[in-house]
Chain A
Amino acid sequence: GAGVSQSPSNKVTEKGKDVELRCDPISGHTALYWYRQRLGQGLEFLIYFQGNSAPDKSGLPSDRFSAERTGESVSTLTIQRTQQEDSAVYLCASSPGWGEGGGNEQFFGPGTRLTVL
């Protein structure tokens, strides 16, 4: 079956421009997560959706970052006025949202590599 997909796979932008990153989760997965992976580092949590609501936004680094989810499906992560420190791989993951709860596997997409010049 189809896994988590993300687009674009690569994005190069100029400092100060806005960017939108898209995530298509596995169909039926109610939980959706965004993570960021800076070069040579582990993943850092950004935001969590349950359905279309975002009860945990604690990882968003600044108010330049926002995300939304519609139809309990597609999610977009928007970064406004990009800065060079925003350069990273942005990963999306989805999870069933029931069953084992925290023991559920999160299924990751291939990521979007963002480069801010």
Chain B
Amino acid sequence: AQSVTQLGSHVSVSEGALVLLRCNYSSSVPPYLFWYVQYPNQGLQLLLKYTSAATLVKGINGFEAEFKKSETSFHLTKPSAHMRDAAEYFCAVSSRMDSSYKLIFGSGTRLLVRP
């Protein structure tokens, strides 16, 4: 069975500092991996996805993530945090073996950005 673990329910950074949100997955087959962001009182928005092409994936708003098979990780980074990045971030996995392609989500990480 697939699963996703996000280390740290809350991460706090200063404006301008590096953002690192951790995601580890468990999957018996090469996965599809996603990062979604949820701003307050809004729906989920896709930041980026990995579908077996380049292992370094660039997304919107300056975010990127690197797929590391050996570490079963897909950590999300941004070189310089902005106040507008404050939101909840969800890592998710879906399986090539599951014809529904349903998403299995981590429990989320709330990013706080200090001025």
Contact = CB atoms under 8 A, between A and B. Distances in A.
Interface residues of B, number: 30
Contact of B43 (A31, A44, A91, A101): A91
B94 interface: yes
Contacts of A111: 43
A104 B56 CA distance: 18
A104 B99 CA distance: 12
A2 to B, nearest CB: 13
Contacts of A44: 105
A62 B90 CA distance: 26
A109 B101 contact: no
Interface stretch (B44-52, B68-76, B77-85): B44-52
B61 interface: no
Nearest to A106: B103
A91 B42 CA distance: 11
Residue among B4, B43, B90, B98 with most chain A CB within 10 A: B43
B105 A55 contact: no
Interface residues of A, number: 30
Nearest to B52: A103
A91 to B, nearest CB: 7
B100 interface: yes
Nearest to A104: B101
A65 interface: no
B107 A105 contact: no
Contacts of B102: 33, 45, 48, 56, 59
Interface in A65-117: 91, 93, 95, 100-106, 108-111
6 contacts: A41-B107, A43-B44, A44-B105, A91-B43, A93-B44, A102-B101
Interface of B: 4, 6, 9, 32, 34, 36, 42-46, 49, 51-52, 90, 92, 94-96, 98-108
Interface of A: 3-4, 31, 33, 35, 40-45, 48, 50, 55-56, 59, 91, 93, 95, 100-106, 108-111
Given A45-B103, A102-B51, 11 more contacts: A35-B105, A41-B108, A43-B92, A91-B44, A101-B96, A102-B96, A104-B101, A106-B46, A109-B43, A110-B42, A111-B43
